Every structure is written in C-alpha cells, then in structure tokens.
Structure 1
Amino acid sequence: MKKSERLNQMLRFIHQQQHFTLQDLMQEFQISKRTALRDIASLEELGAPIYAEYGRYGGYRLLNHMQLPPISFSSQEIYALYFAMQALRSFSNLPFQVSFHSIHEKFISELSESQRQEIERMQNKISFRHTEQIKDSAHLEILLMAAVKNSVLQIEYQKAHQKSSRHIQPISIYSMKGYWYCQAYDISKKGYRVFRCDHITSAKLTDIHPLEDLNEINMQNAHSLWKPSEQAVQFKCTINQTGIEQFQQEHYPSMKLIHETESTFIVGWYEPNEVDFIVKYLARFGKSIKIIEPIILKERLRQYYRDLLDHI
C-alpha cells in the first residue's frame, strides 16, 4: 500500500476510534513501530489535531473532530467495484427501490475518461452470467429493514390459490435462482419458515413485541431454528462427488452432508406435505444419488421417472 493511501485510511481509522495507540496502528495497518511514528508525524503535518497522552493508559487522542478528505479509490478498487456491481444487473427488484441502470450511470459519470475507456474494453472481454429475476418482489425494503430493526410484520401470503395472513419476524433476505426469499420466524405457526418474496402481496409493521432470542440470529445460523414436526419423515441417500458439488450449490436447512467410512450421504427430513417437493429436488441429481431410506420415497421417485417417460 502506498504511503498516501495508508495515511488516507489512517485518518479515517483514528477519526472513528478517537483514542488509539501505536499498537493499534501497527496491528490495523501491519506496519512497524518506526513507520507508525513517522505516519503520526505526517498526519500532524497535514493538520490532524492529534494529542499525545503519556502514562500507563497513554496513547493518542484527537482533540476535536476534523474534516475528512473525500474517499478516493485506486484503479484496481474501481474495477473491483464495477465487477461487484454487475450482480445487480439481473434484478428487476432491489431493496431501497434502486436499479442497476441508475447506479451504473452515476458510477460511470464519476470516472476519468481513461478509466471509462478501460471498463469499456473490459466489457468486451468478460461475460457475467446471472439467473434473471423471474418474479417481481415489491416488499424487499420493508422485509430487510424489519430484519435489521428486529420488527414484526403482518403479511398477506399468496401461494397457488391459497391466501393467508401471517405475523412474521424477518431474519434475513437472500436471492437464489431468480427468486428473492425471506427467512423469518412465523409467529402465527410458531416456527421458522422461508417465504418466497414474490408471494408476499402486502407487508406492514405491527406493534407486536419481537422475540428477543432472534436478535443474534443471522442468515448463516438461521437454520438452527428449523425444527421438524412430529410427522416429519427422515431420509438418507448415498451421493458421489458430482452430487456433492451439486448439493453444495443448492440445498436446504432440513438436509446436510455426512461422511461415514468411505461414503458420503445426504441426510435430512421433510414434512408429509413436502413429498412432491423433495422428489423433484432429488430427481435433479440423476445418477449421482441413490435413496437408501425410506422405501416409500424411493418408490415415489421411481413413479416420477415413469411419469416423465410417459410424457415423452
């Protein structure tokens, strides 16, 4: 990292910390003590109001808030931001009612002419393949902010020809295979659920007190809330390396991979009303899996293949 870039980042770091030590700077920026001392002297020369405190709990302190310089990005950072921004292109809906087009226009307009030309050349050398968003989802912002602020929503949920009113506490939202999903605790059903956002026809805040236990739950550990009912059916399948790679691309909280001796298995459970869903899911693995149990699931998968053949 160039010294000018490091000093710029250091200004923001000490502005956020207010009180800091040499050790803080050495650890944050991976520099030596001598370099940290030189950088502090350079910041003072630039006008940063840094005051040295001596004693056992000494260090450095900002005397008052200072005006930070505008954020500047290196060319490599600009290209990295542009590549990351391409993920927005495939979405017709995003939280906060923004679109790829508006962000793209503002981003490009702030670049120098040479940077714009470089990005244009890159566009002709690289292709971004995304799954296009299939259905519009109109309530992403309120779902996301409810998750952030730990609020309870009342939603109207339309699935097939059934419509129901639910009280949910959103945990997170995510996009997968062209759809937006909301992980939430369904207060009405007293259980963890995943809702397709395009099936949510309305969403509004309520005064219902949220469950405090969900404060620390995030997208990574939300599966810990997913509990089977007493009627849930356990299943187990052998899986080869091709299937493992497919499983890692798409799986659900109710299933996992386990390794026993020299074999790998998918184990999990499904509710009785989800049998058609699990059959279609397993059918996508083709020859890379073999159902061990239950026998009824194996028979349902065979019947699924027979129906496909009859349809040809």
Structure 2
Amino acid sequence: MNQRRLMIMRLLDARKKFTARELAERFDVSVRTIQRDLDYLQQLGFPLYTEVGANGGYRVLPNRILPPLQLTEHEAFGLFMMMEYLQQVPDFPYGSIREQLSDHYFSSLPSDVQDRITRMSQHIAFLQNHSKQPEALTTQIIHAAMEKKQIKFTYASRSGLKEIEVYPIGIYYEHGYWYMPAQKRERVLLYRLDRMQSLAILHQTDTSVPTLKEWLISTDDREKIEVTVRFTDFGARLAQSDILFKLMKDYEWRGSVPPEEFPFMARRLLAYGPEAEVVQPKELRELVGELLESSLAPYRQDF
C-alpha cells in the first residue's frame, strides 16, 4: 500500500468527512485517482460508506474497526477500561508496562475515540483498598513457577519472621491480596505475598510441582471436618461476594474444611461480626470466640 492510501485511511479514521475532490486537492492528484484509492481500501475491508447529497462525502462506519487491534469502538472502550482497572491492582505481573501500554494504546486511537474515552473516564472509578506488595514479586514468582524452581524468602507469620523454602505453584488475587500456594515436601501451603520479603529464586527444580490450574481442580485428600455457619439476612448479603461462602443455602453454609484451615477461616468469619455464627464444629466455634475475646481486650481495660 502506498503512502497516500495510508494517509487517506488516517484522515478518514478520525471520523472526518471528505469529498473525493477535497482529497484530490489535498494530495494533488486527480479525482479519478482518489476514487481508485477508495475502491482499493474498500476491497481491503476498510469500512467506508458514502453520504450522498450536497453535503455528502466519504466517512468511516461509526462502529468501525480500530487500530492497533482489530476492535470495534465498543470493544476499544471496554479494553481501555480493563487496562484502567488493572492499574488499580498492586504489583500486577509485568505491571511496569501497564501505564506505558495504556498510553501507547490510547495514543494510537483516532482523536474522536480518544475524546469519548476521556469523557467516559470522568464518569467511572474503581475504588478498592489494596495491600502494598513488594515490587516485582508476582513476576518473580510466576517465572519460578513456570521453571519449576524453588524459591527462598522471609515470611512474617503470626509467630514472627521465618525463612521459607518452597516450590511455588502460582499466584491468585482475591479480596485485595495476592496469594501463593506452594509445595513443601508433600504438602501445599498458602502464603500471602504482602507478608513476603527478600525473595530469591534458587537452582533446585522439581518437575512434579503442579500448575495453579491443576492444583485448583485437584482433590484435597487431607482429613476434613464438617463445618456449618449460620448467617443473618444481612450477613448472607455480605457473603454473596465472598468466594468462600458462595454455596450458601437458606442462610447456612455447609462444607468440609481441613482443621489446618480453621485459623484462616476463623479470621475470615471474624469480619462478619454478629452477622455470622459457627454452629459446628466446637473447635472452630471456640477459635472464633477466642479471637473475639482478644479483640475486646483492649477496650475492657478502660472499664
């Protein structure tokens, strides 16, 4: 394609209307040459249409295909909003390119689409509270998981700082935090990335480590205990957005939970306050009660 035809595409893609004579004068060629150029572009699939009449001319279809991807305008708006949302997620893998990619993509769009996106952005916001992650941690973990390599890091647990060596399975993002399931000997343990420090990728490899998708669909063969949690009406509405309790029925959630997960579940339930009550087992019920007592202790000192 010659330079003139590329320039015609850019002119028309800005949603301006041109007559064949105006284009001919702009490029100093005959009207017939311009008409051949326009016929050529239409044969390539460029979505031109003609407006007839005294004020007629050539335009591009309103929901046309946009560069750099083969997207319609609505798809372009949606993609830009998705990039805006991802910028709110801390330490997104390869996140250093997000702003650059967003700017590059935005600048490649026709000016009228840029204007509409700018106006649209004044009417939408993504308000979330996110934890602050160490820079580039997610990217390092993904590389280690792909290569089946062991990692070493310092972890801030409830009992203090610990040196951990595990094989990462992958990462997932939930409720404002990144989590890393990792294999240690025969067990899979879960770590929160915002509690990790000083990560290093080691040379040891283990090809038996599953992928994250394989782990998510695998059967948990740990010993489990039946758990029942009863919610109030308001608690049930709160729990609708909680993936842990998505299978609730008639204000009750029932499921089998490994005892090792009780501390995690108890803290999760603590956030519901009086809107959720553990019916069984006794161990989990007592654990939630202990957390409530420790939460009240600082306030009781005032009485």
Q: TM-score, normalised by structure 2?
A: 0.63
- Which runs of 5 or more structure 2 residues have no equivalent in the other structure? 1-42, 45-66
Q: How has the CA–CA distance of structure 1 residues 117 and 129 changed in structure 2, closer, same or farther, with 3 Å as cutoff?
A: same
Aligned to 2:139: 141
Partner AA of 1:287 in structure 2: P
Indicate conservation of the 8 Å contact 1:155/1:165, yes or no.
yes
After superposition, residues 77-96 of structure 1 pair within 5 angstroms as: 77-96=75-94
Contact 1:151 1:205 in 2 (8 A): no
Give 2:241's match in structure 1, choosing from 249, 256, 268.
249
Q: 2:191 aligns with which of 188, 191, 195?
A: 195
User: Any idea what SS the aligned residue of 2:267 has?
Assistant: helix
Using the TM superposition, give the Cα deviation of residue 113 of structure 1 relative to its aligned residue in structure 2, in angstroms: 1.5
- The alpha carbon displacement at 1:197 in A equals 2.3
- In 2 relative to 1, CA 176–206 (structure 1 residues): closer, same or farther, beyond 3 Å? same
- Structure 2 SS opposite 1:156: strand
Q: Which residue of 1 aligns with 2:268?
A: 281
Partner of 1:294: 281
Deviating 4+ runs (over 6 angstroms) = none
Once residues 308 and 133 of structure 1 are traced to their aligned partners in structure 2, the CA distance between those partners, rounded to angstroms, is 22
Alpha-carbon separation, structure 2, partners of 1:245 and 1:76: 32
Give me the whole-angstrom Cα distance separating, in 1, the residues matched to 2:251 and 2:125: 38
**Structure 1 match to 2:229:** 237
Measured in 2, the distance between the counterparts of 1:300 and 1:179 equals 23
Q: CA deviation at 1:136?
A: 2.2
The question of whether the paired residues in 1 share the 8 Å contact of 2:153 and 2:198 is answered with yes
Could you say if the C-alpha distance between residues 133 and 211 of structure 1 is closer, same or farther in structure 2, counting changes exceeding 3 Å? same
Match of 1:37 in 2: none
8 Å Cα contact 2:144-2:201 kept in structure 1: no
* Structure 2 counterpart of 1:144, one-letter code: I
CA distance in 1 between counterparts of 2:165 and 2:240 reads 31
Q: What are the superposed Cα offsets for residues 286-309 of structure 1, whole Å, 9 maximum, x if unpaired?
A: 333222222343344334434444
The higher radius of gyration belongs to: 2
Q: Identify the residue that residue 213 of structure 2 maps to in structure 1.
A: 218
SS at the partner of 2:132?
Answer: coil
Q: Which runs of 5+ in 1 are unaligned?
A: 1-44, 47-68
Q: Which amino acid aligns with 1:284?
A: A
Partner of 2:119: 121
CA contact (8 A) 1:87 1:130 kept: no
**Aligned residues: percent identity?**
19
Distance in 2, matches of 1:263 and 1:84, equals 34
Cα deviation for residue 248 of structure 1 reads: 4.5
Deviations 1:88-108 (A, max 9, x none): 222342222525432222122
Say which of 213, 225, 228 aligns to 2:222: 228
RMSD over aligned Cα atoms: 3.4
Distance 1:242 1:124, change over 3 A: same
Q: Provide the rounded CA distance (Å) in 1 between the counterparts of 2:168 and 2:109.
A: 41
User: Is residue 269 from structure 1 mapped to residue 269 from structure 2 by the alignment?
Assistant: no
TM-score, structure 1 as length reference: 0.62
SS of 2:213's equivalent in the other structure is coil
- Counterpart in the other structure of 1:98: 96
CA distance in 2 between counterparts of 1:173 and 1:141 reads: 10
- The aligned amino acid for 2:228 is K
1:152, 1:209 within 8 Å by CA — same for their partners in 2?
Answer: yes
